[in-house]
Structure 1
């Protein structure tokens, strides 16, 4: 069973500048909640029992948001506004935090969770990607597949060719409808992408990925790329890609964020996948 998840939230958010200079992208408002709230809810609804967030010293706002606020609760009670207390976010599962001292890539962030993960399979949810579904959450769809195959499985979606340059892109053999046995993955291809299926920011890994992250070399920018570790994983053992039945919004892209806000303002929101 997949009971642990890592949410890496330590990046600089350069795609969101200038607002991300003062407001972490994970805290971008969607309705009356920040984006990361929806990601945590998705994890909990998918059966996750413990979360490790990778943050930086600039992301204290995230820690504060999920912390208990006795002062606020006392104020609400004093002002006879007790009805607001239940909407103040207090996670129903433990959320742990660790700081990534330097932004050395997604792979480095995941590697910091080694002692938290131990020898268990685990999920990774990227908070840039908000996944909406009327049915099973995107991560739960991967959890169900992992129960069957017990191998690393990556959430994927078919995207427009013009957007492939923003994501990791897979190639593989479709062994059943929407399920691919992977044979390669390429990070942000500028051209000649191996397919139109991009990684969604939802993963379930066997713990072997952590050993691989210890061995791979940093990129020219000094970063450890998770995609490089996944590629090595594919060459070592069977890995899968699962098309998730959810709508994906990348809040790092301005138009996607606007589209997501429009979704929430749509009176028919929630009536379609």
Structure 2
């Protein structure tokens, strides 16, 4: 069973400046809830019991959101608004935090979780990729891991003009309509992408990933790239890919963010 998950949330959010100078992109609201709340609920829905959120020092608002507010609870009780209490209660999962003191890349952030993982396989959820599908879209990725017992990643088809913004999978063929074998990941290819399948922010890693994060050299901007560690891992053990047909939204892209706002609003009203 995969019971631990890591959510890296220490980046600057440069694609969303200037608002991210003051508001973490993970706290952008979607129908009254911040983006990261949807990701945490996705993890809980897949049976995750412990979550480690990687923060920078400017993102304490994320900690505040998942904590209790005794003053607010008292105010709501005093003013006969107790119907809000379940909605503002902390989620039913253990949440831990660690700071990434320098923005040295996604690989550096994941590496900070080695003690938290404690030799277990674990999930990684990037908080700018969100799906509203139910049940939790993390479940099929966990099922694939339990079947093959190797690291697996989520993939999705994106339009050609977006391929240069993501890691693109070079695949060795389809094992089924939903699963592929990954040979390597090409990070943000400017030309000749190996496929139209991108890594879309959901991973299950075996503890072996930390060995490769220890060994790889910093790349551009002295950042430790998770992709480099994954490619080194590919040379020694297979990495599987699960192809999502479900709709995902990249909330760092304005059109996607507006689209998920509209869909979440419709779903909320439909449930009333």
Bin for the TM-score computed over the shorter chain: over 0.9
Match of 1:124 in 2: 124
Q: Tell me how far apart the structure 2 counterparts of residues 133 and 267 of structure 1 sit (CA, whole Å).
A: 11
Q: 2:108·2:224 contact (CA, 8 Å) conserved in 1? A: yes
Q: 1:4·1:117 contact (CA, 8 Å) conserved in 2? A: yes
Residues 1-273 of structure 1 aligned to structure 2 (within 5 Å): 1-134=1-134, 136-172=135-171, 173-266=173-266
Provide structure 1 residue ranges, at least 5 long, that are not aligned to the other structure: none
Q: 1:6·1:125 contact (CA, 8 Å) conserved in 2? A: yes
Provide structure 2 residue ranges, at least 5 long, that are not aligned to the other structure: none
Cα displacement string for residues 67-125 of structure 1 (whole angstroms, at most 9, x for unaligned residues): 01111111111111111111104120100000000000000000000100011000000
Cα displacement string for residues 105-163 of structure 1 (whole angstroms, at most 9, x for unaligned residues): 000000000100011000000001012214x3221110011111111000000111111
TM-score of the aligned structures, taking structure 1 as reference length = 0.96
Q: Tell me how far apart the structure 2 counterparts of residues 89 and 174 of structure 1 sit (CA, whole Å).
A: 43
TM-score of the aligned structures, taking structure 2 as reference length = 0.96
What SS is found at the alignment partner of 1:142? Answer: helix
- Larger CA deviation: 68-77 vs 12-21: 68-77
Q: 2:132·2:264 contact (CA, 8 Å) conserved in 1? A: no
Q: 1:181·1:238 contact (CA, 8 Å) conserved in 2? A: yes
Query: Which consecutive aligned stretches of 4+ in structure 1 deviate over 6 angstroms post-superposition?
Result: 267-271
* Count of residues in Structure 1 that have an aligned counterpart in Structure 2: 270
Q: Tell me how far apart the structure 2 counterparts of residues 209 and 3 of structure 1 sit (CA, whole Å).
A: 17
Q: 1:52·1:113 contact (CA, 8 Å) conserved in 2? A: yes
* TM-superposed deviation, 1:269: 8.1
What SS is found at the alignment partner of 1:132? Answer: coil
* TM-superposed deviation, 1:267: 6.4
Cα displacement string for residues 229-272 of structure 1 (whole angstroms, at most 9, x for unaligned residues): 1111111101101012421100111111111112223369889x
RMSD: 1.5
What SS is found at the alignment partner of 2:198? Answer: strand
Q: Tell me how far apart the structure 2 counterparts of residues 223 and 151 of structure 1 sit (CA, whole Å).
A: 26
Q: 2:169·2:195 contact (CA, 8 Å) conserved in 1? A: yes
What SS is found at the alignment partner of 2:90? Answer: coil
